[in-house]
Copies of this chain bind each other. A is one copy, B any other.
Amino acid sequence: MASIRDVAQKAGVGVGTVSRVLNGSGYVSAETKKKIEDAIEELGYIPNELARNLFRNRTGIVGVIIPDVEHPFFSNFVRQTEVALYNLGYKTMVCNTIGISNREKEYLDMLERNMVDGIITAAHTLEDTEYLKRKKPIVSMDRDFGPQIPMVGSDHIYGGRLAAEILLKNKCHKILHITGVAPDVAANDRHAIFETIMSEHGVEVVDVVMEWNRFDHEAYWEAARIGMRKYDGVDGVFAADQPALYYMHLAMAAGKRVPEDLKVVAYDGMDITKLCYPEVTSICQNTQFLSETCANTVVDLIENRKRVPHKQIISVEFRQGGSTLPVKLNGNL
């Protein structure tokens, strides 16, 4: 492993000059530059980023904390975020909290240890105070920590409103509503508004509440099974992508026809909702925009180029599928 000193020696110059060539900073005569480049070439020299990092006190790495990459929404989010960060010159370190608050904390600690330049968090296990005491760049997705930490999120209120409108226009009478988002998270808003609108229109809504920090096959399966067993005569479902699909699976296995006997609306609208038959009508979060906004915001903080807004809300979109009857929405129920 050749070092900058070896290069300097071989080229018969000082290390400072080599550094200048490496970074294109300061003046170096064409002749010296050539000598140095030859030496670099000959030695196969590659600068040690660790030393650079120490000097600059940065690593060019952003930590992305999520509950679980295996969840389609988060795998999509990580994918887009990694690409966005890469385009901004940053690398991505992932952390799956998988419901363990200590994991979340440990990754946050990497901020103080200077292992990451900033954090994008979409996990919700750890208390607010653990976040608020950090002084380095943090961007939150969907969780409001107050004015200190910028947040990016979808317009879940509008999303809940759209879901309600779809199921109302589909003339449902008894709706199964599967909830289970972490407390204090903006994504919960859709549930509240949905229930409010339904009750205003006198439509019966029955609930199944999932454990909010489980994303495994069994958990979804169980929620769907409870929904099936506990409630009769359900003719509409509103749930996140996976519980919606699992419930639809069970209902079809029990002989129900979709959309004739059962209307299904999924929230998130990831690719899995287009995979099944029938394709599931969805309220789609714009993960690309969410990711890019998170990435841009955290980089703005890191390079403190400009003030960043406290809240950035990204709109959601209705996608008609075959699991509900075709409707036109106006979004103002």
Interface residues in chain A, defined as those with a beta carbon under 8 Å from any beta carbon in chain B: 46-51, 53-54, 57, 59, 61, 68-70, 72, 75-76, 78-79, 82-83, 86, 91-96, 98, 103, 109-110, 112-115, 217, 242, 245-246, 248-249, 252-253, 271-272, 274-279
Contact = CB atoms under 8 A, between A and B. Distances in A.
Contact of A93 (B92, B109, B248): B92
B271 A217 contact: yes
Given A50-B54, A91-B95, A276-B276, 18 more contacts: A46-B109, A49-B110, A49-B114, A50-B114, A53-B53, A68-B79, A82-B95, A86-B103, A91-B93, A91-B115, A92-B93, A92-B94, A92-B95, A94-B94, A245-B275, A245-B276, A249-B277, A276-B277
Contact of A47 (B48, B76, B113, B242): B113
Nearest first, the 3 closest Cβ-Cβ pairs linking A and B are A75-B75, A49-B113, A249-B277
A275 B59 CA distance: 41
A323 to B, nearest CB: 12
Contact of A272 (B59, B79, B95, B272): B272
Nearest to A91: B93
How many copies of this chain sit in the oligomeric assembly?
A: 2
A47 B68 CA distance: 29
A217 B272 CA distance: 9
Contacts of A48: 54, 57, 113-114
A70 B75 contact: yes
A110 B47 CA distance: 11
Contacts of A76: 70
Nearest to A278: B253
A54 B55 CA distance: 10
Nearest to A52: B113
Nearest to A44: B112
Contacts of A72: 70, 72, 75
Contacts of A75: 69-70, 72, 75
Nearest to A248: B277
A93 B69 CA distance: 13
A79 B86 contact: no
Given A93-B61, A253-B277, A277-B249, A115 B82 contact: no
Given A54-B50, A277-B253, A96 B82 contact: yes
B112 A94 contact: no
Given A75-B69, A276-B276, A50 B59 contact: yes
Nearest to A109: B46
Contacts of A279: 249
Nearest to A220: B275
